[in-house]
Amino acid sequence: MNKTFRNVLLALCLPFGLSAGHATGSGSTPLPDPAELQLASVHAAVAPLDSGGMLYAKFADRSVAIASITKLMTAMVVLDSGQPLDEWLPILKRQDNPPKNSFSRLRPGSEARRGDLLGITLMSSENLAAYVLARHHPGGREAFIAAMNDKARALDMHQTRFVDPSGLWPENRASAGDLLKMVRAAYAYPEIREMSTGTSRRVHFRGPRYSLDFGNTNALVHSSRWDLKLSKTGYINEAGRCLVMVADVGGEPLAMVLLDSFGTRTPLGDAGRIRRWLETGSGGAVAGAALDYERRRAAALAGADTVGGQ
């Protein structure tokens, strides 16, 4: 295990205080200096998977749109239902009139296995697949969404609300701190760990018979430098680029929640900066356009705080 990261874990075993963007240890081993970590993501939470404490937090208590990060909760509700993953489900036309583009290559009227639909919901963020899973839940889509919110309450995710299973609605909201709880819960499901980190998946359909290939929306699954244990990306305009994942860092699983950044690869860069910060104490630099976006969004949050405090 990397010595710096091992010392961080030892420090986390002791009580410490944490505020947005800051982490301080009370032991003889200090945590890495948060001032040395600059992220393009507006909201962030970073913690060892098995520890109750956070290494780093940035606006982590704000409830914001989370886009397809939603689908981790969708997967847990599907698996909690106990319905067989090998059951064939009809692909249904959407009846919920989503506010965002919901293009899908799935053909309504054909059938796919529940496990395959769950796999492409997690790995490829397939929105129609998430919708079909919810429609085939006992009690239908409304019961499914109720189960999502019940699960959030059971996990003490008090800044979280779900209105759909895919994340196309910006009303699906949570804080980075809440999502850290959701990631820890999702990690307990072997199916979610395996499905969310696969590089590709071929799904076979019937009635009519056809096959489709799907890839992972997180490019880091293809990198030899990363050992991912869980992954989910998300994007709608209101949420920005989002990424949650668990990765092996220094021989230990580390959970990262990164919300609202600019550019497809910006959250991936933030993940690299976090790992570098833990291993060396220095996080590196953020590209200009991504940094400008972060500063504008952070300034807007600070302005809202000022107005709210008057």
Distance CA 129, CA 107 (A): 11
Task: Identify whether the C-beta of residue 32 lies closer than 8 Å to the C-beta of residue 48.
Answer: no
In the CATH scheme, what is the code of domain 3-309?
Answer: 3.40.710.10
Q: Which residues contact 140 (CB under 8 A, 6 or more apart)?
A: 134
| Known catalytic membership, residue 68 | yes
pLDDT at res. 32: 84
For the chain, give every domain's residue range: 3-309
Active site residue 125: yes
Taking CA atoms, 193 is separated from 67, 187, 200, in Å, by: 20, 6, 14
Active site residue 71: yes
Catalytic residue among 41, 68, 175, 196: 68
pLDDT of residue 100: 84
Nearest in space to 55 (alpha carbons), one of 8, 90, 91 = 8
| C-beta separation of 34 from 308 below 8 A | no
From the candidates 41, 58, 71, 261, which is the catalytic residue? 71
Instruction: For residues 72 and 122, give the distance between their C-alpha atoms in angstroms, rounded to a whole number.
Output: 7
Alpha carbon distance 93, 90 (integer Å):
10
The Cα 22–Cα 167 span in angstroms is 30
Residues of the chain predicted below pLDDT 50: 1, 4, 7, 9-20, 22, 24-28, 310
User: Is residue 94 exposed (0-12), middle (13-18) or buried (19+ Cβ within 10 Å)?
Assistant: middle
* Active-site pick, 41, 125, 175, 231: 125
Sign of the torsion formed by the C-alpha atoms of 290, 291, 296 and 301: positive
The identity of residue 139, as a single letter, is G
Please report the pLDDT score of residue 20 as a whole number.
41
* The pLDDT value given to residue 29: 52
